Amino acid sequence: MHAETKSIHFPTRRSNGSIAPPIELSTTFEHGPAGEHLHGFEYIRDNNPNVSDLESRLAAIEGADGAVAFASGMAAGAALLSRLSPGARVLFHEDLYFDFRKLADRILPNWGLECESVDLTDATARSRAFAKSVDLVWFETPSNPSIDVLDIETICREARDANADVLVDGTFATPVVQRPLDLGANYVLHSLTKYMGGHSDVQGGAIAFKGDASIADALKEKRRLTGGVLSPFNAWLISRGIQTLYCRMDRHCANARLVAEALDGSSGITRVRYPYLPSHPSYDIARKQMLSGGAMISIELEGGKEAAIRVAASVKLFVNATSLGGVESLIEHRASVEGPESTTPPGLLRLSIGLENPDDLIEDLKSALAAA
């Protein structure tokens, strides 16, 4: 069965013949007099039918052996990192989701983890980093917000030789565009808050993995003991979002490609960062591992920070807001939002391309560029 079919039909849990699955709000489930499980569920912090439905659906579309869902992408990532023992060394790609960078700077050292920021697009930098022992390699591809594209297959091969695991944060690509587990990754992280939910109205996160059930058990234990549990309603909303994910991604990606091509070479813009533009430094890798260019674009303005903020102030259809992956197009000056610790180029604007008519999006950006 194809993944798009699974995204709609899997799993099918019907009550009274209902086509839409019910939402199970119960915090507790009947057990036997000696605590025997009667229905597979016990207490909401351990598990819940809507959360398990979502996990099965995610594993099915990702081609994973299992998936564990959390209250947010951050909770999912933190649960995985908390499995490492003190002394473990983690390599992060230098362009990293800003809150994971803060986690690596402020919290992971307290757990005894040694975190190193490396340009993982650079083979020499990688071989230098792999010269010392490495436990986990962690990168986004495409990365947030610089849209770096990293060679999943090559990095996984090098990591395997070094006895390290690999986590790919696939939030920007979704399983529709890219399947890191098929290319050798051990884990895929998704912020379900983005394309999976798809409507800017629900938060969640997940780790999908290759390996035996002990991985799911360990992640679920972390979830239970640290409490980053997804609510049944949020799980239900995200499962519903996934049913239209394939359809939405087609349109998101087609729109984004048109917008990227229209902006490429425009006056006032020094660089359009989009994986499926031949000018992208990793264009060949993007063509090899991504079915399309995704729907996130970053542009760099010739006039730097001031020009970028003027463009962000001049758009009428794009909304200035953080996050991504919803039906509506968003624009954001990341350096301003990230604050003084930001390493994002000051002239960079990040665009999340929505499902509007692409001509309207292009016209909005072109007039904002002309006005700025």
Residues near ligand PLP (CB under 6 A) are 72-74, 97, 140, 144, 169, 171-172, 191, 193-194, 203, 205
Minimum CB–partner distance for residue 26 and ligand PLP (Å): 25
Minimum CB–partner distance for residue 29 and ligand PLP (Å): 27
Write out the catalytic residue numbers: 45, 97, 169, 194
Task: Tell me which amino acid residue 162 is.
Answer: A
**How crowded is residue 92: how many other Cβ atoms within 10 Å of its Cβ?**
23
Q: Are 192 and 235 in contact (CB under 8 A)?
A: no
Q: Identify which of residues 29 and 187 has a Cβ nearer to ligand PLP in the complex.
A: 187
b/e map 41-80, b = 16+ CB within 10 Å? beebeebbbbbbbbbbbbbbbbbbebbbbbbbbbbbbbbb
CA 183/CA 88 separation, integer angstroms = 24
CA 345/CA 336 separation, integer angstroms = 10
**How crowded is residue 205: how many other Cβ atoms within 10 Å of its Cβ?**
27
Minimum CB–partner distance for residue 322 and ligand PLP (Å): 9
Q: Identify which of residues 205 and 294 has a Cβ nearer to ligand PLP in the complex.
A: 205
Strand partners, 61: none
Q: Identify which of residues 31 and 102 has a Cβ nearer to ligand PLP in the complex.
A: 102
Q: Identify which of residues 203 and 329 has a Cβ nearer to ligand PLP in the complex.
A: 203
Minimum CB–partner distance for residue 264 and ligand PLP (Å): 24
Residue nearest ligand PLP (C-beta atom):
73
Q: Identify which of residues 242 and 372 has a Cβ nearer to ligand PLP in the complex.
A: 242
Minimum CB–partner distance for residue 82 and ligand PLP (Å): 15
| End-to-end CA, the chain | 50
Can you state the angle between helices 98-106 and 73-81, rounded to 10 degrees? 40
Q: Identify which of residues 117 and 314 has a Cβ nearer to ligand PLP in the complex.
A: 117
CA 290/CA 287 separation, integer angstroms = 6
Residues 6+ apart with CB under 8 A from 83: 218, 219, 222
* Residue from 194, 223, 249, 246 nearest 67 by CA: 223
Minimum CB–partner distance for residue 165 and ligand PLP (Å): 18
